[in-house]
């Protein structure tokens, strides 16, 4: 087995080796190289202490020096170099995290989560694979290094990581590993929400976001996203649907491109359906009001999972409007764009398509051609440069002050009123027409 190491990684390994230490590329980069995927970053493990590492290179940062990690800067790239260590790391109320360094590579590999992540490589020793990571890569399985119970008891986040890697690599979780997650899933509640969020985002942005099903099946979502569990058990007895809410959500996730806001939107767009379900006299289910209620719940969820405000704002807006269907008349579409907010476009069309394609074939063609028509009109309105926002109005607050109107609610209402007029009659968006409009209206009062 030979792996083509990037020249800078080779340089770092050579420098450490020439100084009398051992050094290997390790973990994700070895796994990805063997799979023919391009590694996100190259991590290096070494017998040298952090202090010794720092001595050998010009530029370094003490990233996590207490855990043995130093970042080496070579040109514009950076590489994490970590000293061999044992999993002596623990945390309780009295003791700080403790790290025990070791002189033995194998000890370092033993502390790693999964066999496919516990391989090391350098050009003199070749591949060091003591847990048959290669065998598991071939089988396509995620398996714990050593005893799954112990590994998950040491760090419950590894349970989320197992599914995340399954989603990224298109692998399955080996039976004993999977069973142990089902048993210990509750321990995930001890993990900080930031770490859970990071794994969730990686899973959602992977090739297999539908692995959220596994997150549900093995009992992890009930810890950090119980709303998803409810979706997984809510049927949709309605001709437009062929899946329950959860399965529809999984299909919608697969239908949209890998973008954090879009994937989170699809995950949460129907989150309120379990709460909004009503049955009509024919026994058909309806979910009136679910987009608005869903936006509220999505906001609570995203805040609880500590997403940034920009993500929360964009996702909640898209959830709110995912079912909004203006009639395909120009003024109605302009009003819709104003109502929804220009910044939600063109993503809203992607959301609508992904949602539609995750439903039954019933009236699908009509729905898709409606979306295409909507998008065409939106594009046309943009091309014509028609006014859609207060900012684009040919008259502004300063002009109104000159006309003797006081800033405040009255002015706000007046501007909004003018915008509504212009949405109806775009050709009226000139200073002259709008100021005349104000004058006539004021005379009428």
Is 148 among the residues that bind ligand ATP (CB under 6 A)?
A: no
The CA distances from residue 26 to 65, 111, 127, 137, 384, in Å, are: 18, 12, 10, 15, 56
Q: Are 358 and 270 in contact (CB under 8 A)?
A: no
Question: How many angstroms separate the first and last alpha carbons of the chain?
Answer: 86
- Pick between residue 199 and residue 355 the one whose CB is nearest to Mg ion: 199
Binding at 319: pick from ligand ATP, Mg ion, none (beta carbon under 5-8 Å per type): none
Measured from the CB atom, the residue of 27 and 294 that comes closer to ligand ATP is: 27
113 is a site residue for ligand ATP (CB under 6 A):
yes
Closer residue to ligand ATP, CB minimum distance, 117 or 265 = 117
Binding region for Mg ion (CB under 5 A): 28
The listed partner (Mg ion, ligand ATP, none) that binds 136, CB under 5 to 8 Å by sort, is none
Judged by CB under 6 A, the chain residues 35 through 54 that form the site for ligand ATP are 40-41, 43
Q: Decide: is 117 part of the binding site for ligand ATP (CB under 6 A).
A: yes
Residue 274's binding partner among ligand ATP, Mg ion, none (Cβ under 5 to 8 angstroms by kind) is none
158 makes contact, choosing from Mg ion, ligand ATP, none, with CB < 5 to 8 Å by partner type, with ligand ATP
Is 133 a binder of ligand ATP (CB under 6 A)?
no
- Among ligand ATP, Mg ion, none, the one that 316 touches (CB under a kind-dependent 5 to 8 A) is none
What phi and psi values does residue 368 have, to the nearest 5 degrees?
-65, -35
68 sits near ligand ATP (criterion: CB under 6 A): no
DSSP sequence for 307-359: --HHHHHHHHHHHHHTT----SSHHHHHHHHHHH-GGGTTHHHHHHHHHHTTS
Within 154-213, which residues bind ligand ATP (CB under 6 A)?
Answer: 155, 157-158
Geometric angle at alpha carbon 161, from 358 and 299, rounded to 5°: 55
Alpha-carbon distance of 300 to 296, in angstroms, equals: 6
CA 326/CA 411 separation, integer angstroms: 28
Q: Considering CB under 6 A, how many residues would be counted as binding ligand ATP?
A: 12
Least distance (Å) between residue 202 CB and Mg ion: 10
Closest CA to 215 of 242, 190, 250: 250
Q: Helix, strand or coil for residue 286?
A: strand
CB of 310 to ligand ATP, least distance (A): 23
Q: How far is the CB of 27 from Mg ion (least distance, A)?
A: 6
Tokens representing 145 are 């290094």
d(CA 59, CA 56): 9
Residue closest to ligand ATP, measured at CB = 28
In whole angstroms, how close is the CB of 38 to ligand ATP at the nearest point?
11
Binding test (CB under 6 A) with ligand ATP, winner from 12, 21, 28, 377 = 28
- Asked if 167 contacts 209 with a C-beta cutoff of 8 angstroms, the reply is yes
Q: Which does 268 bind (CB under 5 to 8 A by kind): Mg ion, ligand ATP, none?
A: none
Among candidate residues 26, 264, 28, the one with its CA nearest the CA of residue 168? 28
Please name which of 108, 81, 101, 64 lies closest in space to residue 11, comparing C-alpha atoms.
81
Residues lying near ligand ATP in the complex (CB under 6 A): 27-28, 40-41, 43, 112-113, 117-118, 155, 157-158
């Amino acid at each position: 087995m030979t792996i083509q190491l990037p020249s800078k990684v080779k340089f770092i390994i050579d420098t450490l080796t020439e100084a009398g230490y051992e050094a290997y590329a390790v973990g994700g980069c070895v796994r990805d190289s063997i799979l023919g995927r391009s590694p996100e970053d190259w991590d290096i493990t070494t017998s040298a202490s952090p202090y010794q590492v720092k001595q050998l290179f010009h530029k370094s940062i003490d990233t996590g020096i207490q855990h043995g990690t130093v970042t080496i800067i070579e040109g514009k790239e950076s590489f994490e170099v970590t000293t061999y260590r044992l999993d002596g790391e623990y945390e309780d109320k009295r003791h700080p995290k403790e790290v025990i360094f070791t002189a033995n590579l194998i000890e370092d590999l033993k502390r790693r989560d999964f066999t496919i992540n516990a391989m090391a490589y350098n050009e003199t020793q070749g591949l060091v694979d003591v847990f048959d990571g290669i065998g598991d890569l071939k089988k396509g399985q995620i398996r714990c290094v050593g005893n799954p119970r112990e590994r998950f008891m040491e760090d419950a986040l590894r349970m989320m990581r197992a599914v995340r890697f399954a989603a990224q690599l298109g692998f399955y979780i080996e039976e004993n590993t999977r069973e142990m997650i089902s048993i210990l899933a509750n321990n995930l509640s001890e993990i900080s929400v930031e770490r859970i969020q990071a794994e969730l985002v990686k899973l959602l942005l992977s090739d297999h976001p539908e692995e959220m099903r596994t997150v549900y099946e093995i009992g992890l979502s009930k810890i950090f996203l119980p709303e998803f569990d409810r979706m997984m058990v809510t049927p949709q007895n309605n001709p437009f649907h062929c899946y329950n809410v959860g399965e529809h959500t999984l299909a919608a996730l697969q239908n949209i491109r890998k973008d954090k806001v879009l994937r989170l939107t699809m995950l949460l767009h129907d989150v309120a359906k379990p709460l909004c379900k009503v049955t009509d006299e024919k026994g058909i289910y309806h979910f009136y009001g679910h987009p608005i209620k869903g936006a509220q719940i999505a906001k609570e969820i995203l805040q609880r999972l500590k997403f940034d405000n920009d993500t929360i704002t964009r996702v909640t807006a898209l959830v709110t409007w995912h079912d909004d269907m203006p009639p395909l008349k120009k003024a109605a579409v302009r009003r819709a764009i104003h109502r929804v907010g220009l910044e939600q476009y063109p993503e809203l069309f992607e959301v609508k398509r992904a949602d539609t394609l995750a439903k039954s074939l019933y009236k699908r063609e009509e729905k898709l051609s409606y979306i295409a028509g909507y998008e065409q009109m939106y594009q046309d309105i943009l091309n014509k440069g028609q006014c859609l926002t207060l900012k684009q109005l040919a008259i502004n607050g300063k002009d109104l002050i000159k006309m003797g109107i006081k800033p405040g609610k009255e002015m706000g209402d007046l501007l909004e009123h003018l915008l509504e007029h212009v949405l109806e009659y775009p050709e009226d968006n000139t200073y002259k027409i709008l100021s005349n409009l104000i004058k006539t209206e004021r005379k009428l009062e």
